[in-house]
Structure 1
């Protein structure tokens, strides 16, 4: 059974992903259609911008895992950067596969790929690795 806090955290994370994702997707279209970059390069640039927005929202609103210690945020940034590198790689490769093998427009292929990457890769790693809160062993939880 899900706890209310878990559901709320999941929904907040989806809002963060949506805001970062809309920025990412819109910038990808702009860079590909207007600037005429290949979509793989557009995904790299737009994914980075979307990731910065996503990280900020996750850190300060969703997981509220703020710390006065710079090493703590540095650790989170490093882990998040690794997730983003994996995410961008999966999105670029998935979009390319849909476009080359299945002749699906890159914009549609990207949306399909994003669904799998967001829920199967990004969310679990961000929640359970990047912003994981270590429980205090001295605190006894009650149900």
Structure 2
């Protein structure tokens, strides 16, 4: 049903997401617990740092074969920034809901929220919109 290439790309994207995510999550805890920022602000800051790491790995390693390394970085950065804004908003809101409505610790609520946002929002948009292969570009690169 899925090609080996599609599975490999998905796994690579998960490595990129993990590295960005672990940075994001660790920094969120540091900012909240040590620097006493509200977790919603911590998520904003840590999400931005994690996004830079995620974008870099995705662009250089994961999707370079699909979208070509020479793709217009400005367009990719703009699209990625929109995805990150949506992602950070969903993570902040979801974590807040788990904490306020269900009385779940923000660290646990964040992990639950992240799993939904990562697979249902981030990955599809990053793969099919941010780093989508341009048909004209693929023809040129294959010649």
CA displacement 1:9-35 (0-9 Å, x = unmatched): 000000000000000000000000000
Report the count of equivalent residues: 136
User: The residue matched to 1:79 in structure 2 has which SS?
Assistant: helix
Output the TM-score relative to the length of structure 1.
0.92
Measured on the aligned residues, the alpha-carbon RMSD in Å equals 1.4
Structure 2: state its 5+ residue gaps: none
State the alpha-carbon separation in 2 of the partners of residues 23 and 138 from structure 1.
33
Unaligned runs of 5+ residues in structure 1 are none
- Cα distance in structure 1, aligned partners of 2:48 and 2:59: 16
- CA distance in 2 between partners of 1:116 and 1:2 (Å): 22
Higher RCO (CA < 8 A, seq sep 6+):
2
Give runs of aligned pairs for residues 61-140 of structure 1, distance below 5 A: 61-64=61-64, 65-67=68-70, 72-136=72-136
Question: Would the alpha carbon gap of residues 138 and 14 (structure 1) be closer, same or farther in structure 2, given more than 3 Å must change?
Answer: closer
- Give 1:136 deviation, angstroms: 3.7
CA distance in 1, matches of 2:23, 2:125: 21
State the 1:134 CA deviation: 1.6
Structure with greater helix share of residues:
2
2: CA distance between counterparts of 1:138 and 1:109? 41
Q: TM-score of the superposition, structure 2-length normalised?
A: 0.92
Distance 1:110 1:58 in 2: 23
How far 1:138 moved relative to its partner?
A: 9.0
Q: Which residue of 2 aligns with 1:17?
A: 17
